[in-house]
Copies of this chain bind each other. A is one copy, B any other.
Amino acid sequence: MRPTRLDDARIKDARRRIDPVFLDTPLYRCEPLDQLGCTVSIKLETANPVRSFKGRGTELVTSLLAESGARAAVCASAGNLGQGLAWSGRRRGLDITVVASSSVTPAKLDRIRALGATLELVDGDHEAARERAAALSRREGIRLVEDSLDIETCEGAATIGLELADAAPSADVVLVALGGGALATGVGHVIRSRMPGTEMICVQPAGAPAMTRSWHARRVVTTDSATTIADGVAGRFPIPAVLEDLLLVADDAVLVQEESIVAAMRLLLEHAGLVVEPSAALGIAAVLEDPARFAGRDVVTIVCGSNVDPDAYRRWTARS
């Protein structure tokens, strides 16, 4: 197999750099979800100070930055990376600026501010925020943390893979939310090298399909818009290097409908007692849409975030 950009030794080292509060997260079978026709195990990435897996990557990147004497960093964020970077930067004395679309979930923006980061809002979507963050980085001469492109964001996420390889080495399937690709390439890299019998399936909303279309086309495909409640994975411009890696590690990439995402959120609330944000429900949505594919198999789904707007969440999970 051609190697990805990720490096096993660096991933192992990442575990040493990441605050333990983000590591060794719960992995457990949720039997009430047997009703889906398969065995579902939850890898829970929400029980930490920023309520998403992003802290793994931001811990790694800020640890290296602080070591190099840097004083500041900037990122574009759909909400969760910004919280992670703000949290990790604060504890290492780094000035953090987060650029976000003004359409980002208000609860996420509030948390980024509360964590002491400078928050700059831009009109337009996440891609506009990425451009603005890059411009700020050039102007200020500070590090731009680019989700999925920067190897630390992938290798931080890859530590989830190490934990899966230790605790669930014989899982049949791992379902991973697909957005920019940090989580998918990170976890996928480890699955490919350490879980040879495991199928790694990426799941993306049909309303924001750029990376999935790119994976199937084996070249970058962009989209004109991204319309989904799964704000954490709503990019339009896949990064070529990340796609290259994803082509090496993913067994499949599938799209799911908004209704399935909502149904999956409701299922996780009612039968697993978990509040999850839409991106974190993508795995279960994929099972709901294609139960035959997963029938009787041991499925692990990574519940990657729980940062929801309370009102929107109530609406999504209200009894229909």
Interfacial residues of chain A within 213-243, with CB under 8 A of chain B in the complex: none
**Chain B, Cβ-Cβ closest to A274:** B275
B29 touching A26 by the CB < 8 A rule? no
- Listed in ascending order, the chain A residues whose CB lies under 8 Å from chain B are 21, 24-32, 42, 44, 46-49, 51, 111, 114-115, 269-270, 273-275, 306-308, 310, 314, 318-319
A319 touching B314 by the CB < 8 A rule? yes
B31 touching A115 by the CB < 8 A rule? yes
- In the complex, what's the smallest C-beta–C-beta distance from A184 to chain B, in angstroms? 23
**Chain B, Cβ-Cβ closest to A22:** B28
B49 touching A310 by the CB < 8 A rule? no
11 contacts between A and B (CB under 8 A): A21-B26, A21-B27, A28-B47, A28-B49, A31-B115, A32-B111, A46-B273, A269-B275, A273-B275, A273-B307, A314-B319
Which has the most chain B C-beta neighbours within 10 Å: A28, A42, A47? A47
A31 and B319 contact, Cβ closer than 8 Å, known pairs A48-B26, A273-B46, A273-B275:
no
Identical copies of this chain, number: 2
B32 touching A28 by the CB < 8 A rule? no
Q: Which residues of B contact A21 (CB under 8 A)?
A: 26-28
**Chain B, Cβ-Cβ closest to A114:** B31
Considering the chains assembled together, what is the distance between the CA atoms of A308 and B272 in angstroms? 10
Q: Which residues of B contact A32 (CB under 8 A)?
A: 111, 114
Considering the chains assembled together, what is the distance between the CA atoms of A24 and B29 in angstroms? 17
B51 touching A273 by the CB < 8 A rule? yes
- In the complex, what's the smallest C-beta–C-beta distance from A282 to chain B, in angstroms? 17
Q: Which residues of B contact A31 (CB under 8 A)?
A: 49, 114-115
Q: Which residues of B contact A24 (CB under 8 A)?
A: 24
7 closest A-B pairs by beta carbon, nearest first, are A26-B47, A273-B306, A273-B275, A270-B310, A44-B47, A21-B28, A28-B48
Considering the chains assembled together, what is the distance between the CA atoms of A42 and B49 in angstroms? 10
Which has the most chain B C-beta neighbours within 10 Å: A273, A310, A318? A273
Q: Which residues of B contact A114 (CB under 8 A)?
A: 31-32
Q: Which residues of B contact A269 (CB under 8 A)?
A: 275, 310
B25 touching A49 by the CB < 8 A rule? no
**Chain B, Cβ-Cβ closest to A111:** B32
Considering the chains assembled together, what is the distance between the CA atoms of A115 and B274 in angstroms? 20
- In the complex, what's the smallest C-beta–C-beta distance from A280 to chain B, in angstroms? 10
- In the complex, what's the smallest C-beta–C-beta distance from A292 to chain B, in angstroms? 24
**Chain B, Cβ-Cβ closest to A27:** B21
Q: Which residues of B contact A30 (CB under 8 A)?
A: 49
